[in-house]
Chain A
Amino acid sequence: ILNVEQSPQSLHVQEGDSTNFTCSFPSSNFYALHWYRWETAKSPEALFVMTLNGDEKKKGRISATLNTKEGYSYLYIKGSQPEDSATYLCAPRTSGGYQKVTFGTGTKLQVIP
């Protein structure tokens, strides 16, 4: 089982603030990293899949970076809006056969209007 850590556990920001949070994972046998957004009363929804060291993905005001050598990924939200309120989950994948998916416990973001 992978040791996946996300920090902070929760975060309150004012509307318009920019914020970021971290996903840490073992760097050995890295294959891919997924970010998901989980809004209350909805299903988790895929944001990004990242595979290469130095990868950077962007979707609107949300972007993510990846460092596979040190085993972390950052998710950034620029100019947070109330609709960004959600739990953000990361799930790394390792190489070497089909591994069970391990999700981090998530970062719960609350954007205050």
Chain B
Amino acid sequence: KAGVTQTPRYLIKTRGQQVTLSCSPISGHRSVSWYQQTPGQGLQFLFEYFSETQRNKGNFPGRFSGRQFSNSRSEMNVSTLELGDSALYLCASSPPTGKQETQYFGPGTRLLVL
């Protein structure tokens, strides 16, 4: 079974621009979560989607948004980029087997904002 894939892997943007990141979950997984990791910080939860609906949201400004498509692929959008948005963005998918789902992580997208 193919793992979680994320595109692009690396991205350089300038302040004020917007960016869209993509995540394709493992086949059969309907839950997709997004995380941000910045130097010195742990994984910060952004949001979770399940069957095209946002099920949970972290404490991030409205510039961060996401969506999920009917094939469970998910996108994350950051508008009006700030220098502090430079980070590794990870997505993770989970099988629909209840609440103790293990998360399977993609390789991440490393975003640099100049």
Contact = CB atoms under 8 A, between A and B. Distances in A.
Contacts of A99: 56
Interface residues of B, number: 25
Interface of B: 4, 33, 35, 41-43, 45, 48, 50, 55-59, 90, 92, 99-100, 102-108
A103 B35 CA distance: 10
A46 B102 contact: yes
A79 to B, nearest CB: 26
Contacts of B99: 31-32, 93, 95, 98
Interface of A: 1, 31-32, 34, 36, 42-46, 49, 51, 89, 91, 93, 95, 98-106
Contacts, number: 58
B48 A43 contact: no
Contacts of A93: 99-100
A53 to B, nearest CB: 15
